[in-house]
Amino acid sequence: MDPVQALRQQGGVARRRDLLRLTSRKRLHRALLRGEITRTSRGIYRLASADLARVRASELRGVASHLSAATLHGWEVAFPATCPWITVPRNVGVTTRDDCFVFWADLSEVEGLVTPPVRTVIDCARRLEFGPALAVADSALRHGDVTPLALVEAAAAVRGKGAARARRVAAQASPLAANPFESMLRAIAIETGLAVQPQVAISLGPDEVVHPDVVDCGRRLVLEADSWEFHSGRDAYARDCRRYTLLVVHGWTVLRFTWRQVMYDSDFVRWCLLSFLEGAPHEANAA
């Protein structure tokens, strides 16, 4: 897989070993030389468009914000920015540009060229759809750059357009989601009407406890975000089969969804969840 595509699938930010599950060392090196991706001092790779946001911010006398700021903070996002997101002061006149998204806001409390963590999460929550916004908030919490209390307080202080969105994201955000894939699946489930939580501990016996990706305890429903690159190999396959079978034996319904279904075919995922909620009969044609 092309390194840029692999990095986008990983959320725009990824460790070397995670990228090498999807691409080769040679391709990764070439992408670095071409400037398509960059490497930080921590050994983390990210899309070059995030660093370009700093340049555009300086040119426009503004700051990198929203998705660009999230990536610069080192957070994984559901859909990485295709071009820089820049916020400029309200009194700065900037014409519409084709090479970046420009927003106007009060920046009196912002230092440097990137919006601070809490501001970044709230900006994304106000502007993005629920799933991508939740992925940003989950990632910020997972990395320890934002606390749940600070996020809830900041959302409560928001007034005007996007205030309700910000509060909804703050209320549902969790550091337990492992990646944007799981965050997006949880968001779809919440929008469908399920009361879900991430990584709930479920006992399958005296010495066996599992932590499924998304769980509705009241309905005994488990939703799994299945990424083949992290669940390949004979041992992993056997382990997953054992886990899913034991969950069903213990009375849980298990629904498994691929990355592409969750990220690009959410209507299918939503239909499956609604069918479960409605108890719709499943029709099958005998061979």
Looking only at the bridges linking them, the beta strands covering 44-47 and 13-15 are antiparallel
User: Is 205 in contact with 214 (CB distance < 8 Å)?
Assistant: no
Choice between 235 and 111, residue whose per-residue pLDDT is larger: 111
How confident is the model over 20-60, as pLDDT tens digits? 888 999 999 999 999 888 898 778 898 888 888 999 999 89
The answer to whether 114 and 106 are in contact (CB under 8 A) is no
pLDDT of residue 284: 44
Residue 236 banded pLDDT, cuts 50, 70, 90:
confident
Closest listed residue to residue 123, CA positions, set 141, 143, 103, 153: 103
Give the chain's mean pLDDT.
Answer: 90
Amino acid at 5: Q
Residues 6+ apart with CB under 8 A from 106: 89, 90
Does the pLDDT of residue 18 top 90, yes or no? no
Q: What is the pLDDT of residue 279?
A: 86
Question: Which of 33, 31, 79, 72 has the alpha carbon at shortest distance from 55?
Answer: 72
pLDDT mean over 143-172? 97
| Torsional class of 15: left (φ above 0), alpha (ψ -120 to 50), beta (otherwise) | beta
- Specify the CATH class of 180-278 in words: alpha beta
Runs of H (alpha helix) within the chain = 3-9, 16-19, 25-33, 48-59, 66-72, 117-127, 130-142, 148-156, 163-172, 180-192, 234-249, 259-264, 266-278
What's the half-sphere exposure (Cβ side, CA atoms, 13 Å) at 245? 6
Domain chopping of the chain, boundaries: 49-172, 180-278
pTM over 0.85, yes/no: yes
* Average pLDDT for 169-190: 97
